[in-house]
Structure 1
Amino acid sequence: MEKATVQTAGFAKTLRLPQIVALYIGAVIGSGVLLIPGLAAEKAGPASILAWLVMSILVLPMALTMGLLSARYPSSGGVSTFVRTAYGDRFGNIVGWFFLLSVPIGAPILSVTGANYLAVLLGWGDTQIYAAAALILTAVLIMNVLGMHVAARVQTIVVALIISILIVAVVAALPHASAAHFTPFAPNGWLSVVQAAGLLFWCFIGWEAVTHLSEEFVDPAKNAIRGVLWSAGIVALLYFAVAFMTVATHSYGAGISAAALSVMVQLSLGPVGGWIVAVTALFICIATTNAYIGAAARIAYALAQEKIAPRWFGLLHAKYRTPIGGLLFLSLCFGVVLTVLYAGVIDLARLIELPTATFFATYIGGCLAGIRLLRNHRLGRLASWTSLVFTVALYPFLGWSALYPLVIAALLLLWQKRMEKRMTA
């Protein structure tokens, strides 16, 4: 490896519209497409498809807010830069750490999820599962060391495969679709549709991740918005198609909801369908992990430049000009998290609550920044307010994990005050 140096110059602009769209789609389409359509259908019955329609519309303001801010303020700091510009360094730094401390937990969870789908087919035990998860993370880290142009090209290929496989899954299920499966339409009442909509929110988180790559967009003023609109449309269509066919084939209920996609595919393709879903799961986890690792490494770099993170977080590779300081930090965290999971100290279901809370807090910060920074943009102002009301209303339903961002903020504020006292002493 070439010698690493701390740099202050920005990153090379290598991401064009196709790569931007692929990064957005990869960040947003996560394991939710494998789990949530069946769970939502079990909760609300055929009426769950209305929840998918409503959520596809409601998340558009959130995507637009992130896209408009990226177009105006392209930066590796992403949402933290938007908040810093709107409300000052202190709050910008807090939001930056929210995001940075989400990925070291979230990425290992994704890699273990992908490895688990293979484990079901190959009969793996825990050792093989966690070894495969470590290999997934290592491969993505290496791609990001080589450069975002390499990672983005891989992302484009992976996302194309994901889209192709999901289309195959939907088409393969068509012969088994029946109008009879849509009655009764709302067996659990209309309130269940609202509850299902809250569940679907998790399928649409991810727009904030790509804001951290906006400094590397070619023509961000144009491509950031185009990227958001294209990816939002594609994501909504894919989710709705899978959800619709899940209901149309009644591939949910009686303990099979969590594996609805696999059940639906196997109606026509048999055991081969299980492999299709396993490959899809692996691709999805790689794509999402790639987007978030790239984003987190860059926020680590940005925080180092702001002197609110260790100086070595700002290391750039001398040849590839990639944020290897941030990637090294992530690597160390991944090792710890995988070890904790492997040892059974905490399970995936509990652990995933923590990054969910910090992602939520990041969105709230981004929406607040949008209200101030986009106040002279009619659509941007409306999108920011809509997103803020939506996310704040859902935040209390996170439960105890909602305290995680508050603890991070409190510790960071105490550390900042301590540093300020040292400087004035």
Structure 2
Amino acid sequence: MEYQFNAEFALKCDAEDELKNFRAQFLFPQHKGENAIYFTGNSLGLQAKNAREYISEELDDWATFGVEGHTESRRPWLKYHEFFTKPLASIVGAKPSEVVAMNGLTTNLHLLMVSFFRPEGKRKKIVCEGKAFPSDQYALRSQLRFHGLTEDDLIEIQPDPVAELITDDRVIETLEKHADEIALVMLGGMNYYTGQFFDMERITRKGKEIGAVVGWDLAHAAGNMPIKLHDWDVDFAAWCGYKYLNSGPGGVSGIFVHEKHHGQTEIPRFEGWWGHDKETRFKMPETFKPIPTAEAWQLSNAPVFAMVPLLASLELFEQAGMQRLREKSKKLTAYLQFVVEQVRESTGVELKIITPKDPERRGAQLSVIVPGVGRKVFDYLMENGVISDWREPDVIRMAPVPMYNNFEDIFRFGKIFEQGLKKFAK
């Protein structure tokens, strides 16, 4: 497609978009009586319109049935988490038995590492990317301390100081170099800062070859990129629901555990009654019997009201389909790149896109260095109805989410961005 930086081109693309009607299913923040240009779905997705209706239905069922709502409500609470398995499995490339919606992301990472980080002898190190989201590194370091290890046992692969990226080759080289020392490979599938998507299949394969367990934080990848966790033989993964999956602030997370780890009574695991065998759960036996699925990692029954917004969003994902969303995402992100480059040319400002230009190595995000006046330009964008994200020292992150963003959003952003640069970059 030959892109053009004008309104007519953007409107034509939107008219031809087979997913265009999904935009109307979401609520946008308002700016001067109009929808803001919302480019922060990589931090907090928009609210699906049906979320309010579904919450009202649960409140009505609570009022009507009281405790009997666990079995009598229109979506029985007793099995509420089961309504999420099929759509989540489709989004992350898993079997329904391998996923479950529960808790928050870092909580889930800790619960999974109880099972899958088992340092022994020389094989005791964890590999992660440098400049991962801080919560991951806090979790990894605390896991090391919990096992009596030190921060020297964390191998952080630092990004190239110029490109600000970590090539897949460097990850592979690191795994080969420390092959007999690594117990766990635990990276983010997509780096939050640069928007780089790692070759998860290749890295997972190498990790397994050297005898390590491989897990992934998919906070920025789930609902953003096509993933095949089962086929790639990933051991475990976790993601948050409030970014691309639109589950609301602090919304419910999800986990993946490969089926080869199911049904193992000897696997180390923190146990709770909702992970116990469903047939005997309410007989209250003294001995824990794990459900032979990823559900075994559950601790408590589903927080229904907290899960409702995710359910409303996942229904839209099922209708749209990940493949169609991905195809639109490629076009939107490519158009955003084109517009940024056009603005760079028209203003003479040395903007630098640090997100990979290869469409297969990025999702719905561009991170742009705006030298010198970045914060002023970011504030100008916000004042003029563009909700984007600022990261120190000089990066503006933008996420054109295919479920609800469109080409006109990108064109309008480009004009405002251009005005801001001309105003401040003198």
- The TM-score normalised by the length of structure 1 is 0.27
Larger Rg over CA atoms: 2
- The TM-score normalised by the length of structure 2 is 0.27
Structure with bigger helix share is 1
Structure with bigger strand share is 2
